[in-house]
Structure 1
Amino acid sequence: MSGLHIDIEIPERDVIATFDVVAGEVTAILGPNGAGKSTVLAAVAGLHHPHRGMIELNSRVLTDTAAGIALPPHKRGTALLAQDALLFPHLTVADNVAFAPRSAGRARRESAEIARRWLDAVDAGELAERKPSQLSGGQAQRVAVARALAAEPELLLLDEPMAALDVASAPALRSLLRRVLRTGERTAVLVTHDALDALALADTVVVLDGGRVVERGDVRTVLTRPRSAFAARIAGVNLRTGDMQGDGMIRTPSGIDIYGIAEIDEPRGSSAVAVFEPRAVSVYLEPPHGSPRNAFTVTVAEIENRGAIVRVRAEDEEGQPGLSADITATAAAELDLIPGSAATFVVKATETLIYAQGAGS
């Protein structure tokens, strides 16, 4: 098959993951710390061997545990860009970048030309004669990108490449990666926990949580209509899971009924999610009179000033992700909320979207 196919099981890391990466596209693997993102990337790179599985790249088998196939990292046609640049300290920048083509059997002059071309492509040509110790973190990562691309990999693997950079360097590297990745000619897998990286660099998102693929789809769909707790958190929306009861209603595991606008008629009992934005939530100290459609009894966990609004984060007894409400500073002052306060979050059914839960397409 063209592109990347992953179907692996790694019991010692509690990872079972199956998904495909389309040739010429960038797929971002999102998920919380410990979700198994880097483990999957290491398996593709040949740095970790799955207990069971198959990994194919452009119809070439890299790993097949049933057949006893496990190509070494240097024969996989992959290049790994990690959090740290990991440049050879004794070599100049130019020699670092030329190392990959030289290792592949290219002549010294040709390798030097390849290195110069890629250093210019990442705006690091002026750094060619420096040693890694003379580079800033951002400069070192630009050189590391050039070194990875000079290897002419079939697949580029990026493991949180912005994580070790300061706030000034990260946007510049993100812009650089967008330029070299979003050409439609390079297949890449990007591990990140930052939605901004996914939006800027990726075509498709795979969400890993607890070592399992819980969601996948194109970037904007996943981040605007999340089906998993992690995707909802980074998208900045509230999410509750439950079972469809019909008539635009789901019932949570603890028996709370949530009403909303159903995307389509899903079968009764099927897994579904209810999603609503923090700005749609009203906050009360006491349950309001009447019968508001969706009301959640919560305990305030955190109050965050966000300029014109105040973000109130709260937990309930659902055992699901915490809920957030955005209210005005005046309303926050009148409510006199503090961490530990009891409150009721209320959201209209017309502000709640209900749709099927699942890994996506």
Structure 2
Amino acid sequence: MVLLYVLGIVVFLNCVYFLVFSKFSFSKTLDPISSENHAISLIVCAKNEAENLKNNIPLWLAQAYPNFEIILINDASSDDTLEIMEQFAAENDCIQIVNVKNNEAFWGNKKYALTLGIKRAKNKRMLFTDADCKPASNNWLALMAGSFTEEKELVLGYGAYEKAPGLLNSLIRYETLLTAVQYFSYAKVGMPYMGVGRNLAYTSNLYYANNGFMSHIKIPSGDDDLFVNEAATSKNTALCYSENAFTYSLPKKTWKSWFIQKKRHVSTAKLYKPTHKFLLGTYYFLNLLFWIVAAASFVFLDWKIPAILISFRFLVQWITIGKAASKLKENNLIPFLPFLDLFLVFIQMSIFISNSVSKQTKWN
């Protein structure tokens, strides 16, 4: 009987989180294009990204926005990244190049390169993306820029991954979806805690007011989420999740490379504010506990009541996360939500264990 009570409590707490997530899932999508057309700087940091830059610089140049510059940062690349940048810059006056050479004090540190790019930017409003990111439309820049107001100095966007066959691709997109649901939802209830550098905007005023990346400059990752965690408030943060404002990146193609990437991302969470760490950690723990207690309930209890509780939890998850998946154009994940959820929980546990015994010091 105690096991049944535990299952009931875990299901209830899971559903409380889904209720918070519903703030985003059932929110109305708006296209915040401003008529003011404030000047904006698009900043892209690239390390060995020659092929991606060939494909994506034309898409950035084609944005339907009258007043923007592109800051291309070559972060000590060993391929033709700098040459590709120079070719486009020779034909487009709006492109500025920052050529970063390795610095002994900040070897392999993306934040050092980004800092130099931000210093070069002429405009107060800045939009950040990665070299492998394709905008969903030529209104991407206008939509993100249009989300700025006098009060809103930080804009959280959605950085999706391109669809491909296979379990790994589905799991990557599900994890990305779930992360977005959380950071959009918490921002909706007045607790913004992170954003993704694939699609993120903020003002130089906000950047300098928070001393840039100085508090975590030696941490290899976190130029996006750690900065947002430090600088974002309920008053200064705007959300932009119109379909035309998405970016699409190339997902990892091997389990090993994705695992390494997620280790780097997860390692920054320990530096979040205590409230955010508690909420995120509790959500993961309750997810893990649900699967363990659900399995135990079928072994040690009569299956009927546990089945009702478990089905109710899955129904709430399907409605809430499914609605968000539809909003973020990940509809083909919806039928597989429980399976992907189970798989992700144990992948995350492996990452936490691995991070406890190893560290990464450079960005790739």
Q: TM-score, normalised by structure 2?
A: 0.25
- As a proportion of its length, which structure holds more helix? 2
Q: TM-score, normalised by structure 1?
A: 0.25
Relative contact order: is structure 1 or structure 2 higher (C-alpha 8 Å, sep ≥ 6)?
2
- As a proportion of its length, which structure holds more strand? 1
